[in-house]
A = this chain, B = another copy of it.
Amino acid sequence: MLPFPLKLQPGDPIYLQIVQAVKSAVATGLMGPGDRFPAVRTIAQELGVNPNTVQKAVTELTALGLIEVHPGQGCYVAVRVPVRREAKAAAVRPLVRRLLIESRNQGMAHEDLLDLLQREHTKLDEPRH
């Protein structure tokens, strides 16, 4: 069984769906630093997908610093190194802007957006339904 939940859906590229699933699993604490990351061929078989497609996701995740490769051994969830406050903001800012534009175009009040953000934030910590 894969340590990150993922139901493949048409529309988005498969390798990006894998990346997003891992991101989500790490963010929710479902996977922690040092955890073993499944083998490329294992994930491929589990998802019924070509190993090359999974490999692309692994390359992406490595570039993002989310997982580390131990040559000849395997992959592990990376230990996050602390970065400058400004660097974090720069990475997140585009998403913030898109969110604000979208919510405003939906005619959503700013307070309602803050409420929604708060609800989803708490929901992220206890998704054990």
Contacts and interface: CB of A to CB of B under 8 A. Distances in A.
A96 B117 contact: yes
A117 B116 contact: no
Given A95-B95, A99-B92, A117-B96, A124 B104 contact: yes
A128 interface: no
A83 B106 contact: yes
A80 B53 CA distance: 42
Given A23-B101, A101-B24, A101-B27, A107 B83 contact: yes
A83 to B, nearest CB: 7
Interface of A: 23-24, 26-28, 66, 80, 82-83, 85, 88-89, 91-93, 95-108, 110, 112-114, 116-117, 120-121, 124
B101 A88 contact: no
Contacts of A102: 23, 27, 91-92, 95
A103 B99 CA distance: 13
7 contacts: A23-B102, A80-B107, A85-B112, A92-B103, A93-B116, A96-B120, A100-B124
Nearest to A115: B89
